[in-house]
Amino acid sequence: MKKALSLIEVLISIIIITVVIGALIKIKQNNLFIIEKSDVSKLNQAYISLYALNYQISDNRNKNLAIDEQLLLRDDELKKQTKSTNINIKDKMLDTKEVENTPFSFKPIESLYSIKNSIKKKFYTIKIDK
């Protein structure tokens, strides 16, 4: 009956434990990276939505705009975060639709908002003309 572990058994167990701990650390790092990336993505989408809600503010369409210059932000922390963020806006007029037997016509406008070519959102606006 064997009462003690041999040196080889101890070394093998240490190697197995080291590999498992290394794998767990790598998984944790990947999860933290994914969480940070998703937080940045959510923040950029919020900036786009904030700017899109203020559609009438800017006459500067189809160009890059700095958020902090275009919006009136009262929060100093929000101003710091948005200082280096630029939004690229591209408007595209779609085909005008006429409604039969009425004097109205609809002009749909597709607005594409993007930040750093990674986050993109499309908004549609419909102008009604007589």
pLDDT tens track for 3-27:
778 889 999 999 999 999 999 999 9
Adjacent-strand bridge partners of 126: 108
- For the question of whether the overall pTM of this predicted structure is more than 0.85, the answer is no
| Calpha distance 119→34 (Å, rounded) | 15
- 90-113 burial, b at 16+ Cβ within 10 Å, e below that, comes to eeeeeeeeeeeeeeeeeeeeebeb
| pLDDT tens digits, 49-87 | 777 776 654 444 677 777 666 666 677 777 777 777 777
